[in-house]
Structures are given as C-alpha cells and as structure tokens.
Structure 1
Amino acid sequence: MLSTELDNLIQPVNDFLSCATPASWLKEAARPENLATLLRDHLICELKAAQSAMYLIRRYAVDESSANALLQWLKPYEDFTYRQQGDWRALAGLSLKKSMIPKASSDYTQDLIDKMVLLIKEELHHFYQVLELMADNDISYQKTTSSRYAKGLLRHVRTYEPQAMVDKLICGAYIEARSCERFARLAPLLPARIADFYISLLRSEARHYQDYLTLAEQIADADICERIAYFGKVEAELISSPDFDFKFHSGCPQVAASDQSAA
C-alpha cells in the first residue's frame, strides 16, 4: 500500500479517535517476547468482532432460520477457540450456507445484514490469517483471557431500544477504529511479514468503523454526535489509563510491584 493511500485511510481514523495509542504501549508491543501474546489476543479479537456483528444481525435483523445458520457458520471457529476442538487448517474457506432472510421490513434491516455479513466474512478470514502467522512463527494457540477494553465500552450502553442498538454500533465503530490505528502504528515495529499483514488489514478495518457509524446514524434518525463524543471519552480513558494486562486493546502498560522488586 502506497504511503499516500495509507495516509488517506488513517487520517479519518485518527480524527475520529480521541487519543493516539500511547508510546508506552507501542514499546511493549514491539518487544519480541510479547509477540505471542499480541498475536493470540489479535486472534481472539477477530473472532469477537465476528461474534459482535453476528449478534447484531441475529438480534435485530433476521428470522430464526437465518439466525441458526449464522450460529452454525461461527461454530467451528468457536469450537477451535473455546473448546480447542478441530484442526485450524480445516477453517479455511468456510462460508455462510444460507441467504439471510429479514424478519421485518425497515429502513435499515437489509443494510445491517449486508454490512455485517461482509464484516463477519472478513474477520473470519483475518482469524485464519493470524493462525497462519502464528504457525509460521512457531506460536501455539493458547486460551487467553479478554482485556477490559470491550467490556469497558459496553458498560455504558443504554438499556432501551433503539438507543441500545445505536450505542452498540458506536462501540463497534470505536473498536474497529482503534484496531485500524494500532495496525498502522505497529507495522513499522514488527517483523516484515507481520507488518505487511497489518498494513493489508487497514482498508477493511477503516471501512468497518465507517459502516458501524453509518448504521448508527441511520437507525437513530437523529444527531448522534453527543453519543459519539461520550464514547470517545470512555474509549480514550481505557486506552490511556494504567493497565496491568497487556493485550491488543489494553491501556498504558504497568509493571506490578512484585515484578518491579524482582527486577
């Protein structure tokens, strides 16, 4: 990807986010001993992104048979990730076997289905690509706990509709935008093949955050600038505050007192 194209993709993302990734996180992420943790958590993030998009389709857009087809699509990935069942190579090329049938007519249903099904396809493809990178670097898959990041955002989602849906979409936009920003900033610090892979993800990640925002605006049918700004502050606090758990979306790395004394 040419530098001009890269700049054009990243600038709107940087403008959308309320803060940049702290230098201390980038320094920690660039440490060779943290590569396994970074890739394992990136792997989980790709699956979580697909699951979040699937939830939105199932909850708001499709009939029961379509919802079940979505569950079956993701099941092999979830079996591998959470139950450590199956060979990861068997995940190559798995696809949705059924057309999605809207459960009700609305101004946004088909757009939600189209955007989120594409997002799921891309995230699951990225999931497989991360597994390939892990294999190339002799990094075995291990279960990893979730970071505080997504839960920290979703804690602020309103509990009544359609505002809850709008807030979830805004949260999705921030998660995708932060991923995009970190891919761009990490790329120069990582081994060449991983750097090339991260650069290759930027176009889809940048589109994902914009798709989430477009859907949020469409469903709210009102100005959502105030909610975007609200979640921007929440997201920036999660990214810039101290965090003892190093993950792909974690905050400023902190060393536990016991580790400091040992050093």
Structure 2
Amino acid sequence: MTNRVVPSATIAKIKILQQPTKSAWIEQAIANLDTILLDHSHCERKAAGVAINMMFRYPAHQKLVRQLTAIAQEELEHFEQVNQWLEKRNIPLAPLNSPPYFAKLKSQIRHSEPDRLIDSLLISAIIEARSHERLGLIGANCPDPELAKFYCGLMASEARHYGIYWVLAEHYSDRLTVEHRLAELGEYESSILATLHHEPRVHS
C-alpha cells in the first residue's frame, strides 16, 4: 500500500507562482529522499552565494546589502542543518548535476541596468517561492516524522526570503513594472517545470 500523496493544492497558494507543483514531482522526491537532501544542501549553499554575489554587484544599495546579509547568514545556517541530516542518514557530501532550472531562469536576466537588478531580484523571489512550496510538500508527504517536521519548519524562512526579494524589486523600481515582469518570469518558470526532470532535484 502506497502512502497518499498530499497534493500542492493543499498548500496555501503562493501568489507569485503561476502553476503549482505536480504530484509526479512529489512522488519522485519522496521516493528519492536521500538525493533530495543532498541537492537541498547544494541549494542552500547556492542561495547564500546568490545573496552574497548580489551584495558585491550592488554595494551602494544600502537596503539591499542590509537585507541580503541577513538572508545569506540564514541560508548558511540552513546549509549546516541540512548537512547534519546528511550525516545522520549516512549520506556523503558529493557533487550533483544541476537541473536546467537555474540556468534557464538566469538566461532571462536582461543585461542593462536597472533591468538586470530587477530581474535578478525577481528570479531569486521565484526560486525562494518554489522552495517554500516544495519544502512544504516534502514535509507534508515525508514518511519520517522528524524529517517532515524539519522541512515544515523551514517554510517560514523561505516565505520571508521570497518576500524580501520581491519587496526589494519594488523598492528599486515601481509596482506596476515589477508585477508585469514578475508575471512574465513566473510563466517562464512554470514552463521549465512542465516536464519532470529525470533526475530528482528540489527544483526539477
């Protein structure tokens, strides 16, 4: 008897995501939890790096630097927490091939400023929003109660992160411009996930 999959429809709708995660991804993730955990470790490290790199690119943007400093610190804390789970489950740290998700999203960043800044912030918001949704789905479907609790506990910070990126975009632009661009990028992000990647990943 298989466990009933809790669909993404049961997770509160996330405004900036155009389409919810499909049940096929949930089933793939739960069937490959060790790989998902390892990929999650890489994701937290990369998320810290994204925040830090943005601070280096825009050092005069005081509000951005202050808020992304806090995000980078929290992402590194999550990186350590996930690595503790890897150790607990005897999963060695190892490289993984990246899914096409991140490269495809990055390809949508425009090159001229301030468009580059706005796109970078909004893509980070979308990635964090998708992380929020999918970590919640793992928590809702995970057969290990302790691990499920861990994943559900991460949801609040992921929601806060995507909110910060979104608000920063509106701070450095205007709301109508941000909403229009966010809809475009959100539609593109959903198209990337329309076909399930053959390798289980947090963003696949």
TM-score by length of 1: 0.70
Partner of 1:28: 28
Residue in structure 2 matched with residue 228 of structure 1 by the alignment: 182
List per-residue Cα deviations over 1:222-246 (Å, max 9, x = no partner).
5211100000111111122242232
Q: 5+ unaligned residues in a row in structure 2: which ranges?
A: 1-10
Separation in structure 2 between the aligned mates of residue 185 and residue 134 of structure 1, nearest angstrom? 19
Q: Which residue of 1 aligns with 2:166?
A: 213
Larger-Rg structure: 1
In 1, are the aligned partners of 2:16 and 2:182 still within 8 Å (CA)?
no
Answer yes or no: is 1:248 the counterpart of 2:202: yes
1:17, distance to aligned residue in structure 2 (A): 0.8
Structure 2 equivalent of residue 185 of structure 1: 137
- AA partner of residue 20 (structure 1): P
Aligned to 2:4: none
Contact residue 38 and residue 247 of structure 1 kept, 8 A: yes
Indicate whether 1:199 and 2:152 are aligned.
yes
Q: Find the counterpart in structure 1 of residue 64 from structure 2.
A: 112
* Number of residue pairs the alignment of both structures matches: 192
Report the identity percentage: 35
Equivalent-residue separation in structure 1 for 2:173 and 2:46 (angstroms): 24
Report the AA paired with residue 87 of structure 2. Answer: A
For 2:202 and 2:41, locate their aligned partners in 1 and report how far apart those are by CA, in whole Å. 10
Q: Deviations over 1:81-115 (max 9, x none)?
A: xxxxxxxxxxxxxxxxxxxxxxx4xxxx2210121
Q: Flag as ranges the 4+ runs of structure 1 deviating above 4 A.
A: none
Contact 1:54/1:116 (8 A) holds in 2: yes
Structural mapping, 1:108-187, within 5 Å:
109-187=61-139
Judge which range, 187-196 or 163-172, deviates more.
187-196
- Contact 1:163 1:220 survives alignment (8 Å): no
8 A Cα contact 2:67 2:164, kept in partner = yes
In the TM superposition, what are the counterparts of 1:40-55 in structure 2 within 5 Å? 40-55=38-53
